[in-house]
Structure formats: C-alpha cells, structure tokens
Structure 1
Amino acid sequence: MDMYTNLRKGEKGAWISIGAYVFLSAIKLFFGFSGSSEALKADGLNNLTDILASIAVLVGLRISQKPPDENHHYGHLRAETIASLLASFIMAAVGLQVLANAIRSIFEPVAETPSLFTAWIALFSAIVMYVVYRYNLKLSQEIKSSAVRAAAYDNRSDALVSIGAGIGIMGAVFGAPILDVLTAFIIGLIIIKTALDIFKESVMTLTDGFDEDEVETLSVLVRRVPGVISLRDFKGRNHGNVMFIDLTVSVAPKLNVIESHWITEEIERKIQKVKPHCVILVHIEPDFSSPISRQDE
C-alpha cells in the first residue's frame, strides 16, 4: 500500500539525521576539547542525545510498517505518533538544558578563551543541520509523516543551538560573553516552544482528536453527493499518516442495495480525491421524513 511505501521513505530521513549527528558530534567534541570551547563541547554532547531522538523516530517508522494482526486491527501506524511524542520529550530536555546553561553562565565567568576556529566549526554545523532540516521538512510534507516532521524540527533546533554556540564563542573571543547568554536563552525558549507544539499535536492524535476544519471541509463534500439527504454523524481519527473516517448518512428509504452502495462509493471517491491516504466507512440509514426514492426522481 502507498502508506507503507511512504513510511519506508521516512526511514531515509531518520538515517540522514543519525548520520549527520554522528558526524557533527564527533567533530564538535574533537575541536571543542582541542580548541578549549565549552560551548562547542556542550553542543557536541547535545548532538549525542539527538541521535537517540532520531533512533526513536526510526524505530517508530519501522514498527508502523507492521501489518494488522489479531491485537492491532488497524495496524501499528500510531507507533509513528509515539515516536514523535518521545522526540518532543528529548527536545524539551535539551531546551531546558540550554536555558540552565545560559543562566549558569551568568554567574560562572569563562575560564579560558576558546579558539576562534571553534566558532567556525559551530557555524558550519548549523549550515549542515539546516540543510538536513529542509530535506526532512520537505520529506515530511510529501509523505504526511508526523515523526519525520518532528525530526525536522529537532534538526532546526540543533541548527539554532549551533548558531548560538558560534555567537557565544565569538563573544568570548572578542570580550563580549553576554552575547552567549542572551542567544542561548532565546534559543532555549525556541526549542521548548517547538517541543510543546509537537507534544500537543502528538497527544491530540493519540487521544483521537480531529481538526474541526477538516470535518467542515469533508462534510461539505459528503453533502454534495447525489442521493445524500443529510449527514447525520461524522467521526474522524488519525493513525500516523492515515486518516480513518466513519460516516452516517441518510438516503431515501426506497433505494435498493445497489443504489445505496453507489452512494457509498461516490462518497469514498469524493473524499479520497482530496485525502488519498484515507480509510472511509459509510453507514446508510433511511430518511423517512423525506420518502423520495431515486425511482421517484
């Protein structure tokens, strides 16, 4: 199915993130120690924790591809959302750590001036992570993956952290360490805000929340299907990149089975035209208040 193909594509984004974090953490820690830069060493350690977040996304995508079984009739698609939730926790922990370090640096003066070269390493890392962020963001939009989108936002947060580290190092080199504090504090707030956004979206999905705008848009499509007298009930939920919709519509009571089935198929066609990854269940009920059958029209 297409949805499983998309999940396999999503794994590529997770692997790219892991590769980038392994490479960047190695060079940051090496040059951080050799160049006496506490900021770059902290950024390198931060990337080590990001490897865990990317692995969580990768595992979630892999589990999501498992087919339905006797205990999971709808499949394992929500493992992707759980991976997004775990990624938000890791991002929040990193954001709090950045804030704590920024506050601590106010009271702890820099012991040794770092090498200016370490600032360029930090800025180079920011560029790399921004490229990875743009790739994963585009991929997440293409395959409609919340986990890959969470990974992309994590990539963006790390690009910001590296920019902050670079500014802080330059500030220390040129005698203005306060730049490090201000930049780190703002970046910490941005990371926490991003983590909260991912957390809220994940919780909404896991608790079967559904966007009201989606309900209104799809309801209009259903009501326009010939033969539908009224839309009596609409329920929707998301499992990873797949949308499940349960509908109850009323039709003329004199319709036969074939005619009623045509209406359900037309509803499915209308919705899947705008939502390709959608599973639809339509329940037909007779409307005795409008006893007009298709034969009478």
Structure 2
Amino acid sequence: MDVYTNLKQGERGAWISIFAYVFCSILKIGVAILTGSAALMADGLNNTTDVVASVAVLIGLRISRKPRDRDHPYGHFRAETIAALVASFIMLYVGIDVITGAIPSMFNPDPVAPGMIAGYTALATSVIMFGVYRYNLKLAQKINSQALRAAAQDNRSDALVSIGTFIGIAGAQFQLQWLDPLAAVVVGVLIIKTGWEIFRETVHRLTDGFEESKLEDLRSTIADINGVERISDIKARYHGSSVLVDVVVHVDPELNVVESHTITEEIEDRMRRDHKIYDVHIHIEPEHERARE
C-alpha cells in the first residue's frame, strides 16, 4: 500500500469526524435550548469548532495527495503535518475556553439545574465520539497518519468534555453544582495537554527533527546488510507521514557497478520491509584499505 493510498484512506476518517461533529453539535444545541443547559450549549458550540479542525485535517490530507510538480519536487506531504498543527491550535483554544468558561460558574450564586435529558444527551454523544476516536486512532496507526492521529486525539478530548458535561448536569440534580465547573476544568487541562503534545511533535517534524533512537534503528538495519562495510553518515527527516533517508555507505572498492547497485537495492528493500520507508537516497563510497583495517 503506497503513501497516496494511505492518504486517501485517511480522508475517510476525517469525513467521519466531520459528520459526527455536525450531528452532535446540532443535537446538543437543540437540547440545550429546550432544557436551558448552559453546559450542554457550551459543549455543542465546542463541537462546531471541532468541525473546523476536522475540515483542516481533510484539506491537509487532500493537498498531501497532490502529485509532485515543479515547485514541489518532493510532493505536498507536509500539508498533512500543517493540518495537524492547525488541529493542535484549535485544541489549545478549546481547552483554554473550557477552563475560562468554567471558572465563573464556580461563583454563580443562583445556579439552575437543567433536566437530565441534557445529561443523557451529553453521555450519548460521548459514546459516539469515543467510537469515532477508536476508529480514527486505529486507522491512523494503520496508515501512519500524523494528521489523523491528531484528529483522533481531538475526538477523545471531545468525548471527555461531554462526560464532564454529564457529570456536571447529574451533580446539579443533587445540589452539587460545583461538580460541573470542576469537571470542566479537569477536562480543559487534559485538552490543553493533548494539544500541546501534538503541537510539540508537529513543530519538531516541521523543523526536520528526527528521533535519535529511530535513526540508530535505521543504521543498525543497514549495517547488517551483506556488503555494507561502513556507514559514514545517515540522516532522516519526516515528510508528512513518510520518512526520507539519506545514507552514505562504504563498500569493497573491488566491487563493480552492478554489485554495488545490488547492495543499494537490498538496502531499499530492507527499509521498505522493516521500517515502511519508501524513499531512500544512497550514496556509495569505496572503503579504503586503511579504513577497513
């Protein structure tokens, strides 16, 4: 399965998120108007912003599928990483908004307890979003999509927000109105934490950062290939969900061109088979006798 097929599958997850958010936001806002639940209204408005995040992910995945052109000889795969970055910004905003909206509620002198239909609505939509989260997370792991993984984390955050809304509404029935803002603050902190982790990872990738442990794994795989005498340099960077590898390999200077080329083909095959890496630039150097000793 190539990277373009993976990106096309990722769009399916983005569409599922969009449909789920549109349905949940309409349902929550409608029930909130009928029951007078401010918490459910805020939850529904939160889902409307998530539609924007999911659309950003969808656009990023679609741009990533565009073929290479004169201005983008490496393709458009980093659009997917930018989409994940946009999703992280929206999650950070939502987390801060949830917390700042909950704090004034702690000092409300005359809270009103909405009907439990609002709580059940929040609980039902949380189940829906947990289902979408599990689906998108599994798909993201299958196709190795950073943008879809960010969308999945957003799905989980919204499921947690809805659970917090349910707890707050349920507590209000027993005059425990403080549960609502407390649950909202806790959930807001979790959303900010998740958004920050996605932001940090995407910035690391956009600045060509690559984990040292993974680079060592690639080096070990190449070093084990028959005919590779030494690796003098190896670099790797993310390009969307794919990885680009540049490596300088030293071989026996007595090998002819065909034999050296066979080694490069083996390196490419091992990268594809063991690490799902399809773009490897290999530079062959003759290993001098003194270095070999």
TM-score over 0.5 (shorter chain): yes
Q: Deviations over 1:255-290 (max 9, x none)?
A: 211111111111111111112342001101112135
2:171 alignment partner, SS class: helix
Q: Deviations over 1:112-131 (max 9, x none)?
A: 22111110000001000000
Q: Does 1:22 pair with 2:28?
A: no
| 1:264-279 map, 5 Å | 264-279=264-279
| 1:214-229 map, 5 Å | 214-229=214-229
TM-score, normalised to structure 1's length? 0.95
Structure 1 position 180, deviation (Å): 1.1
2:33 alignment partner, SS class: helix
Inter-partner Cα distance in structure 2 for 1:11 and 1:110: 46
Structure 1 position 229, deviation (Å): 1.2
Inter-partner Cα distance in structure 1 for 2:75 and 2:282: 20
Inter-partner Cα distance in structure 1 for 2:46 and 2:108: 20
Q: Which runs of 5+ in 1 are unaligned?
A: 293-297
Inter-partner Cα distance in structure 1 for 2:249 and 2:14: 42
TM-score, normalised to structure 2's length? 0.97
| 1:152-167 map, 5 Å | 152-167=152-167
Question: Which position in structure 1 is the counterpart of 2:129?
Answer: 129
Contact 1:21 1:51 in 2 (8 A): yes
Contact 2:125 2:162 in 1 (8 A): yes
Inter-partner Cα distance in structure 1 for 2:110 and 2:4: 51
Contact 2:250 2:286 in 1 (8 A): yes
**Alignment RMSD:** 1.3
Inter-partner Cα distance in structure 2 for 1:170 and 1:78: 44
Question: Which position in structure 2 is the counterpart of 1:248?
Answer: 248
Amino acid at match of 2:173: V
Amino acid at match of 1:33: I
Q: Does 1:112 pair with 2:112?
A: yes
Amino acid at match of 2:165: A
Inter-partner Cα distance in structure 1 for 2:247 and 2:199: 29
1:107 alignment partner, SS class: coil
Q: Which runs of 5+ in 2 are unaligned?
A: none
Inter-partner Cα distance in structure 2 for 1:116 and 1:110: 19
**Total equivalences in the alignment:** 292
List, as ranges, runs of 4+ consecutive aligned residues in structure 1 with deviation greater than 4 Å.
none
Question: Which position in structure 2 is the counterpart of 1:87?
Answer: 87
Structure 1 position 37, deviation (Å): 0.3
